[in-house]
A and B are shown apart, each in its own frame.
Chain A
Amino acid sequence: MKAWKYIVAVGMTIVIASGFLISVPDIPILEQTSRNLFFHVPMWMAMFSMFSISFYYSIRYLNNPEIQFDIKAESAASVGIVFGICGLMTGSLWARFTWGTWWTFAEPKMNLAALAVMIYYAYFVLRSAFDDGEKRAKLSAVYNIFAVTTIPFLLYVVPRQLESLHPGAEGNPAFSEITAPELRYILYPAFIGFIALAFWIYDVVHRHKMVQYHSENS
């Protein structure tokens, strides 16, 4: 194992423990659930970074059609979708006990995030539709570029123009002066930690897919 993986393991342990241990400000309705900030929000950051990696390798593939770029793009997208599902499920649980419902169609960010995950689900459906590896790689790379361009609009631009229960609606940044600054000391390490964890998982998935590819083509 490479050294950075040990650093991620130790760092994530510290982040999770301190996420539970630090004293959070007393916010009505949220109460202790403001700690969810350290777990729910980094899911999306991990998803964004995985989809960015996937996007990068899709472009690389279209410039230079070598199958390993396609394998990397596929691996990153699959890890990204796992974190997206984590984000949706944690968000739903959090919503139940603060907004009073598991799911609401009044909340644009919630629904558009689900849409974003479904767009990436369609990426895998598209991939499974081809038997020919080269054709699959090329078309899914094109689709992936379309899919990634929807992400900023679905999760940043549109929700901020609409009324939303999420902090950060109506054009405000998510961290305004109403949010307690001490939460950031855990939040930013949690971003780094979960993104690094996602990258680690991506690395394992990618290596598995490479071995699989070589075993099938040897």
Chain B
Amino acid sequence: MKFSTQDASQAAVDTLTSNYADKWDGAGQIDQTNAFIQFMYSNDLIYVVLGVTLIIWFVLLVFLFRLDRKVSTLENKINPSKNHEA
């Protein structure tokens, strides 16, 4: 399997890719790559979709944790008895 990144048409606009194509051509040698890459290629690439959803989830989770911590700091500072509607 060879993918279009390394096509000659791409190399014409991008010398960097052609210079590094040997290093970047991971998709061409699935058998030789590590267990993670092989796992991701299995089952028609469905784990890539899982990876994408997990990335979104983790980024939002990190953001939520940071926001939570900021709100806690603020609460400790003002220490209100008010009932904030969420």
Contacts and interface: CB of A to CB of B under 8 A. Distances in A.
Contact of A32 (B14, B17, B45, B77): B45
B48 A93 contact: yes
Interface in A73-129: 82, 85-86, 89-90, 93-94, 96-101, 104-107
A104 B3 contact: no
Interface string A126-166: 00000000000000000000000000000000000011010
B24 A20 contact: no
B56 A90 contact: yes
A32 B40 CA distance: 11
A195 to B, nearest CB: 14
Of A33, A43, A99, A100, which is in contact with the most chain B CB atoms at under 10 Å from its CB? A100
A126 to B, nearest CB: 21
A105 B45 contact: no
A201 B63 contact: yes
B14 to A, nearest CB: 4
Interface of B: 1-6, 9-11, 13-14, 16-17, 24-28, 40-41, 43-46, 48-49, 51-53, 55-56, 59-60, 63, 67, 70-71, 74, 77-78, 85-86
Interface residues of A, number: 40
A12 B47 CA distance: 20
Nearest to A35: B49
A85 B5 CA distance: 23
Interface stretch (A49-57, A60-68, A177-185, A204-212): A204-212
Nearest to B78: A215
Question: Do most interface residues of chain A lie in helix, strand or loop, or is the interface mixed?
Answer: helix
Contacts of B1: 29
A106 B5 contact: yes
A33 B5 contact: no
A140 B31 CA distance: 51
Contacts of B70: 208, 212
Contacts of B49: 20, 32-33, 35-36, 39
Given A33-B48, A105-B17, 7 more contacts: A35-B46, A39-B53, A94-B52, A106-B16, A201-B63, A205-B67, A212-B70
